[in-house]
Amino acid sequence: MIKRSLLTLAVVVALMLGLAVTGVFALATEEPPFAVKLSEGAFEVRDYPALVAAEVSVGGQRRDAASKGFRLLAGYIFGGNTRKQRIAMTAPVTQAPSGGEKIAMTAPVLLSGGGPWTIRFIMPRGSTVETLPTPNSPAVKLRDLPPSRVAVIKFSGLAKQADVDAKTLELSRFIKAQNLVATGPATLAQYDPPWTLWFMRRNEVMIPVTISAAGIPEPK
């Protein structure tokens, strides 16, 4: 009985610590701004402004590619650049086919199907390709991203491949129902660090779209 009580207490403490760490990370992590043009349950249509990203192209299976790409990009923002400058991490980290000053990391991180994979960190607000430090690794590229419109489906959990496939299908049906037209592949966006409890993880599948017959205006 005592052992069982101690085990229960340990589980509760671990859960509380996980919630606390996840909450602190969420509050501290910058996310790119966007305007919601349409919202329906778990679905949204968003307009994003021009952004700057650091990205790598990695072959292999999705999870392996995401892990390798994350390490390469983390090396860049944690000082692996010509200024040895640390860049703050943002969210999400995105996955799609095809020692000095600290710079914040943003969220999400994104990944989509049809490898090789492009793993991308969005740079903190106000960054430009010209002002960011040059990566030491030739695999890391800095890129300007134009304003975009994306259809999104939000979901929680571990983002297993079966989940990603199912959500991509749901999103494709939503896009069709809204008379939108997909203009690129699906991307998986993940917003949380790996220690986040599975039921608290924020994931999204994103698909770029064009104007709908329903009259949603184009992004400016």
pLDDT score recorded for residue 1: 56
pTM comes to 0.77
Residue identified by tokens 């037209």 is 181
Q: Which two tokens stand for residue 193?
A: 């660090």
Smallest Cα–Cα separation from 92: which of 106, 112, 104, 107? 107
Q: Residue 115's pLDDT is what?
A: 62
Instruction: Answer whether 66's CB lies under 8 Å from 52's CB.
Output: no
In sequence order, what are the residues at sequence separation of 6 or more whose Cβ sits closer than 8 angstroms to the Cβ of residue 160? Answer: none
Residue type, 171: L
CA–CA distance, 22 with 29 (Å, rounded to integer): 11
Residue 215 lies in a domain: no
Q: Kindly state whether residue 216 falls inside one of the protein's structural domains.
A: no
CA proximity to 152, closest of 178, 126, 115: 178
Q: Kindly state whether residue 219 falls inside one of the protein's structural domains.
A: no
pLDDT by residue, tens only, the chain of 220 residues: 555 544 443 333 333 333 333 333 343 479 999 999 999 999 999 999 999 999 999 988 888 888 899 999 999 999 999 999 999 989 899 998 864 444 444 445 444 444 689 999 999 999 999 999 999 999 999 999 999 999 999 999 999 989 999 999 999 999 999 999 999 889 999 998 877 898 899 999 999 998 655 556 655 5
Is 220 within the bounds of a domain? no
Q: Give residue 79's domain range.
A: 2-210
Alpha helices in 55-211 (DSSP H): 62-77, 161-177
Q: Who contacts 163 (Cβ-Cβ below 8 Å, separation ≥6)? A: 155, 157, 203
User: Which region, left, alpha or beta, applies to residue 162 given φ > 0 means left and ψ of -120 to 50 means alpha?
Assistant: alpha
In this structure, is residue 218 part of a structural domain? no
Check which CATH number belongs to the domain holding 109 and give it: 3.20.80.10
Q: What is the pLDDT of residue 199?
A: 86
Amino acid present at 113: G
Are 132 and 174 in contact by the 8 Å Cβ rule? The answer is no
Total number of domains in the chain? 1
Contact between 207 and 150 (Cβ < 8 Å): yes
Residue 58 lies in a domain: yes
